Amino acid sequence: MPDDSPPPSDSDAGTDRLIDDGPDTPRQQLIDQARRVRAMIGSKRSDKLLRLFDFLLERTLEGRSPSEIDIANEAFSIGQTIDTPQDATVRVYVHRLRKLLEQAQADMPGRKLFIPKGEYALMLADDADAPAIAASEEYDGADDSDGRRQRPAMIGAVLALLLLANIAGWWLFFPRWSESTPSALAQTALWRPIAQDDRPITIVLGDYYLFAETAKGQAVDMGPPRLVRDPSINAREDLDIYLMARPQERARIRDLDMRYVPSSAVMSLGDLFDALRAIKGQSGRRISMIPVSQLTADLLKSSDIVYVGQISGLGAMLRNPLFQASGFRVGTTYDELIDTVSRRRYQADGGQLLADERVARRDFGYMARLPGPSGNHIVIIAGARDAALRQMAEFASEPVQLNAMDRKATADARGFESLYQVRAMGNLNISGQLLVTRPLRSRGIWDRSTPSQRFPHDDYEGEGHVDP
């Protein structure tokens, strides 16, 4: 019989070989904190960051501080001598690891690990004694200390929070369905596990990062800059890395710490809030809503998750385990899904066709339910583009549509996935047709630290992927 057991977890692979020296020695304190931090870094699913962390820890315990060439050749296996002033690879990842250490230990009491300026090593110090670990000496000015970034960032954050709060308040306090009405949705394969659970429910909206850019040759103070969405830059840290490798761009690119949610996701919330209120009934379970950029490992484990957004907005924390389990892989863009079983390609229409509202276009919607990392449940409601996302939100709140899917779906605890073809003209969805429904291969997906493939525009993540 084939072995269907999950692959061994590598969450402690880099620290298992360390020898305990006793609880009171500085070395053992460093090892203990490294074990805690490494588990959190592993949840970020970046193979290079894990290798860099392990390499620095090993060299620190040996009492040797490596050079950039040592890191490139031994930790990253580049295998050749690099020209340090020209190649920013090592400095980029050290900068990223500094930030990740700061984030991972933000709520941890006691002493914390950090990488000191000017040295490639891991050190342990109290908060008051540790230097600023977010700033890298290779990237002076990354924090924009003159304050030009802080006010736009605050305004953007406040507007986003007010928008989400108003949407949530409207649908939570003015429902169109009575809470006392028994829910047929609670009996469907998509919603039954969440209906039978008692965890809080978190709606996660796919969101995207924006930064500001002035035209070439234009001074920063000559009119407002334009907002730019670069698919390969999905967070402030990605922009930091981009600018470290392109210092000539710093004068005209500014981080506003601003993100946006597509209108299709916002428009889908009405149907989904109605559905979730009907599912939870009188249980008193809390329903909250966050953008995917604010999804944390704690929330991913402690609540039932309902993702609403485009496939491209899933974020690595949801996307990587989902596509470990899925029978689909993403093509050259998120408009394309490839069935790994039949080898059939499903390509949503895009480009100029989307701008012509007189031509019917083809889109693809996706729904899935998979087990979470702690016995909780995750529901994915997504589309390649806006039309399919809105159609999936409607189908997810209609028992008739879900019952049609149930006839092909499985009640297996591993979960299932469904692919729909959606026809739309302008903003009007004409039809939706179920194409594929099948079980997910979800065993062991939360134990794997590397993604199943390299995803489109994944310039700063996705190292160590394995193509099927």
Task: Please name the amino acid found at residue 108.
Answer: M
Question: For residue 404, how many other CB atoms are within 10 A of its CB?
Answer: 14
pLDDT along the chain (468 residues), means of 10: 43 49 75 85 66 90 85 68 57 83 81 86 72 40 36 43 50 43 80 92 94 71 77 83 82 87 88 85 84 90 95 93 96 95 91 55 94 95 93 91 78 84 76 91 85 79 40
Contact between residue 379 and residue 194 where contact means Cβ atoms under 8 Å apart: yes
| Alpha carbons 98 and 118: distance in angstroms, whole number | 12
What pLDDT is attached to residue 460?
56
| Alpha carbons 291 and 458: distance in angstroms, whole number | 20
Task: Please name the amino acid found at residue 77.
Answer: S
Q: What is the torsional sign of CA 326, 373, 464, 249?
A: positive
What pLDDT is attached to residue 374?
92
Helix (H) or strand (E) holding 338: strand 336-339
What pLDDT is attached to residue 280?
80
Contact between residue 57 and residue 139 where contact means Cβ atoms under 8 Å apart: no
> From 1.20.1050, 1.10.10, 1.10.260, 1.10.150, which CATH number describes the 26-125 domain?
1.10.10
Q: What is the torsional sign of CA 80, 84, 87, 88?
A: positive
| Alpha carbons 323 and 437: distance in angstroms, whole number | 15
| Alpha carbons 128 and 13: distance in angstroms, whole number | 31
| Alpha carbons 166 and 415: distance in angstroms, whole number | 33
Contact between residue 275 and residue 354 where contact means Cβ atoms under 8 Å apart: no
What pLDDT is attached to residue 436?
94
What pLDDT is attached to residue 43?
54
Taking the domains of the chain in order of start, what are their residue ranges? 26-125, 159-206+263-447, 208-259
Structure tokens at 302: 């402690």
Give the bridge partners for 308, in sequence order: 205, 381
What pLDDT is attached to residue 412?
65
Q: What is the torsional sign of CA 293, 296, 297, 300?
A: negative
Structure tokens at 54: 């392990």
Structure tokens at 143: 């924090």
Structure tokens at 352: 């100029």
Angle at 401 between CA 398 and CA 405, to 5 degrees: 130
Question: For residue 200, how many other CB atoms are within 10 A of its CB?
Answer: 15
Task: Please name the amino acid found at residue 195.
Answer: A
Say if pTM beats, i.e. exceeds, 0.85: no
